[in-house]
Amino acid sequence: MTRIDFHSNVSNQLDYACRLVRKALAAQCKVVVRHEDQDQLHEFDQMLWSFSPSDFLPHVDSQIGDQTLLQQTPVLLSLPHGADAPAQAFPHQQILLNLSTQVPDDFTQFERLIEIVAQDTATTQAGRTRYRFYQQQGYQLTHITAK
């Protein structure tokens, strides 16, 4: 069963996500980062290149289609699957980092799901809705309040 962690009260979602990606890579984990906004995903992509002058955070957009590159790269950036975009089987299923406001339709294929909930009202409400959904499905949830 997928382990689900909620990180709430996050002041800067993308910065916080960069720190989690860095931590996951240090632990030699592979991560898929999901965001529903293409512009925000692009901003996150740029942040990963410049986040830490002493760390290299290798990542690639999962839409590139090069399976060799996707398998070799520990961080994949992904938009949600929609009616017009079929579910994609990722080459690794360790951690799904959800920056979107929706429940990822493929979260059960991952060992761990990390939900990051920012401080603004709309994101907090969407986070509560996702939290209740997972609870109703019988998942044990861990809650971490950002400092």
Alpha helices in 33-147 (DSSP H): 38-50, 67-72, 121-136
CA distance 142 to 139: 10
Q: Read off the tokens for 54.
A: 């002493």
Confidence of residue 62 (pLDDT cuts 50, 70, 90): confident
Kindly report, residue by residue over 4-29, the tens digit of the pLDDT.
999 999 999 999 999 999 999 999 99
Kindly report, residue by residue over 47-61, the tens digit of the pLDDT.
999 888 887 889 999
The pLDDT of residue 42:
92
What are the distances in angstroms from CA 40 to CA 15, 35, 43?
12, 7, 5
Percent of the chain with pLDDT over 70: 94
CA distance 111 to 57: 21
Alpha helices in the chain (DSSP H): 13-26, 38-50, 67-72, 121-136
Kindly report, residue by residue over 75-95, the tens digit of the pLDDT.
999 988 654 444 567 888 999
* Average pLDDT of the residues in 107-136: 96
CA distance 84 to 63: 14
The pLDDT of residue 56:
82
H/E element holding 7?
Answer: strand 3-10
Among 94, 88, 80, which residue's Cα sits nearest to residue 20?
94
pTM: 0.92
Show Cβ contacts of residue 13 under 8 Å, excluding neighbours closer than 6 positions: 99, 116, 118, 123
* Average pLDDT of the residues in 30-36: 95
Domains belonging to the chain, first-starting first, are 7-80+89-145 (3.40.50.10110)
* Average pLDDT of the residues in 84-107: 84
CA distance 8 to 119: 7
The pLDDT of residue 82:
55
Name the amino acid, one letter, at 91.
P
Among 135, 127, 97, 93, which residue's Cα sits nearest to residue 110?
93
